[in-house]
């Protein structure tokens, strides 16, 4: 059976009933068995948010091995933005897998890679001449953006920000701010990485331009002129921190004035997630280089660096690449993902989800002053939890509300430097009914 009805979201084509259902306790017996096997077979370093194992997913739900149907407020960490196994993506992947799975673009190139580069050059902010290069993961693309910026400027220093998250490889661990769990015990880290203060409206009084001045002072005093500044326009793991208005434009302007490469890490914020195709658009900034991944290909591993032709082409021939980078199946999925976003009006759908969630969460905050802040854009919304009436972080509350939601069949993630942020990243294919049900569960959890 295909559920082709309109749920206030997009038209779905999934056979999964779009309703939360608890068939067993969470986790059920089959998930518990699998978890025991995981413990004996998989390295302990790989944790899981939920204690259940998935068998199917679609629309706004994930079904587990015990027949529980969970509401998905995570999208596999902001990846399945167009809906997991979106119909166009499934068709494109099947067709490409039958044609060829791999030739290596550096050996025998194929059109899909070029077509994805053309789309990225068209869709990213700015009308200047652009080039793109494709990789597998967000971290790999961030590393390559830094390589490109160094090749272009002939400088080495790179600036990252407080609360930043850029990945788990050696250079991106250095760029990432938080020690536990991402860096602890894994050093030494790559040199020539410097950290500047962010704008964090809930926790500092500075307006955007003043916060930018504070950051620029640190950069000028500690480095002079770096090769690049790397920043998430809205921080992801760091707690969905939206900098005060004017912060990003002032920083971008300083980079332009000083010939420093401005790199926007839009790995989490890209591809319609924030109610714009890219979050840079909210303040009209035009990054020199833009890094995308997560939402780019509906779950197939793909990432990209897109930017000014003269910067991108500074890296010598053969200097960029990788065996799997721009895999043909991932490229087919990306083209189908972009088509889905445009055909289904998903940028607007993300804005609708923002309105619905902020309305519900604001009503909740009226009754509960442990919700210190509600923030984010589009379908990237968070609440920061504090001890009642203060700004003191309350990570235990975040953990217990998340645990209560998990037990009742709602997938919700936590984040933030202090671990006190509940973050909501629903797929844009979720129905309003499911969102309301999930918010009812959360309200009861509080």
Ligand X SMILES: *Cc1c(COP(=O)(O)O)cnc(C)c1O
Residues that bind ligand X (CB under 6 A): 137-139, 142, 165-167, 232, 236, 265, 267-268, 293-294
Structure tokens at 382: 């968070």
Nearer to ligand X, 7 or 166 (CB): 166
Nearer to ligand X, 135 or 418 (CB): 135
| Residue that has been written with the tokens 């494109």 in this structure | 92
Nearer to ligand X, 265 or 394 (CB): 265
Nearer to ligand X, 59 or 233 (CB): 233
Report the SS3 class of residue 51: coil
| Shortest CB 437 distance to ligand X, Å | 27
Enumerate helices (H) and strands (E) in the chain, giving the number of each.
13, 15
| Shortest CB 445 distance to ligand X, Å | 25
N-terminal to C-terminal alpha carbon distance within the chain: 37
| Shortest CB 1 distance to ligand X, Å | 35
| Residue that has been written with the tokens 């999925």 in this structure | 333
| Shortest CB 434 distance to ligand X, Å | 24
Nearer to ligand X, 293 or 435 (CB): 293
How far apart are alpha carbons 134 and 332 in whole angstroms? 13
How far apart are alpha carbons 331 and 302 in whole angstroms? 7
Nearer to ligand X, 195 or 294 (CB): 294
| Shortest CB 266 distance to ligand X, Å | 8
Nearer to ligand X, 332 or 425 (CB): 425
| Shortest CB 265 distance to ligand X, Å | 5
Please give the residue whose beta carbon sits closest to ligand X in the complex. Answer: 138
| Residue that has been written with the tokens 């976003």 in this structure | 341
- Please provide the DSSP assignment of 276-320 as one string: SSSGGGGGT---SEEEE-GGGTTTS--EEEEEEHHHHTTSPTTSS
Distances (CA, A) of 427 to 14, 83, 241, 272, 333: 14, 5, 20, 10, 16
CA 63 from chain center: how many Å?
Answer: 23
| Shortest CB 252 distance to ligand X, Å | 17
Nearer to ligand X, 168 or 399 (CB): 168
CA 168 from chain center: how many Å?
Answer: 14
| Shortest CB 36 distance to ligand X, Å | 27
- Please calculate the CA angle 358-377-338 and round it to the nearest 5 degrees: 125
Q: Are residues 196 and 161 in contact, defined by beta-carbon separation less than 8 angstroms? A: yes
């Amino acid at each position: 059976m295909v559920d082709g009805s309109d749920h206030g979201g997009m038209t779905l084509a999934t056979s999964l009933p779009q309703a939360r259902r608890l068939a067993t306790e969470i986790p059920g017996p089959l998930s518990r068995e699998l978890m025991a096997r995981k413990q004996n077979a998989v390295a302990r370093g790989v944790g899981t948010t939920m204690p259940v194992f998935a068998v199917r997913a679609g629309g706004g739900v994930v079904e587990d091995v015990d027949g529980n149907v969970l509401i998905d407020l995570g999208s596999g960490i902001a990846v399945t933005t167009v809906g997991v196994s979106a119909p166009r993506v499934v068709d494109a992947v099947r067709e490409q897998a039958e044609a060829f799975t791999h030739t290596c673009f550096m050996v025998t190139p194929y059109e899909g890679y070029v077509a994805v580069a053309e789309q990225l050059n068209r869709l990213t902010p700015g009308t200047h001449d652009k080039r793109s290069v494709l990789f597998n993961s967000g971290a790999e693309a961030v590393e390559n953006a830094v390589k490109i910026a160094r090749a272009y400027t002939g400088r080495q220093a790179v600036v990252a920000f407080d609360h930043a998250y850029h990945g788990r490889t050696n250079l991106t661990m250095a760029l990432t701010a938080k020690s536990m769990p991402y860096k602890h015990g894994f050093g030494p880290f790559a040199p020539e990485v410097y950290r500047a203060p962010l704008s964090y409206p809930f926790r500092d009084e500075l307006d955007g331009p003043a916060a930018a001045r504070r950051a620029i002072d640190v950069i000028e005093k500690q480095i002079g002129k770096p090769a690049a500044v790397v920043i998430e326009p809205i921080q992801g793991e760091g707690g969905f921190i939206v900098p005060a208005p004017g912060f990003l434009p002032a920083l971008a302007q300083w980079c332009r004035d000083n010939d420093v490469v401005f790199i926007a890490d839009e790995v989490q914020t890209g591809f319609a997630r924030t109610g714009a195709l890219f979050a840079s658009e909210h303040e009209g900034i035009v990054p020199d280089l833009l890094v995308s991944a997560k939402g780019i290909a509906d779950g197939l591993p793909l990432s990209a660096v897109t930017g000014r032709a003269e910067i991108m082409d500074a890296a010598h021939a053969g200097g960029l690449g990788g065996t799997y980078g721009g895999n043909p199946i991932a490229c087919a999925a990306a083209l189908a993902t972009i088509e889905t976003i445009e055909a289904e009006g998903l940028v607007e759908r993300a804005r609708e989800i923002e309105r619905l969630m902020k309305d519900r969460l604001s009503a909740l905050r009226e009754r509960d002053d442990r919700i210190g802040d509600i923030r984010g854009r589009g379908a990237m919304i968070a609440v920061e939890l504090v001890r009642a009436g203060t700004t003191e972080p309350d990570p235990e509350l975040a953990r217990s509300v998340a645990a209560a939601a998990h037990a009742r069949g709602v997938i919700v993630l936590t984040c933030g430097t202090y671990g006190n942020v509940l973050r909501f990243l629903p797929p844009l294919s979720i129905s309003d009914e499911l969102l309301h049900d999930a918010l009812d569960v959360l309200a009861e959890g509080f």
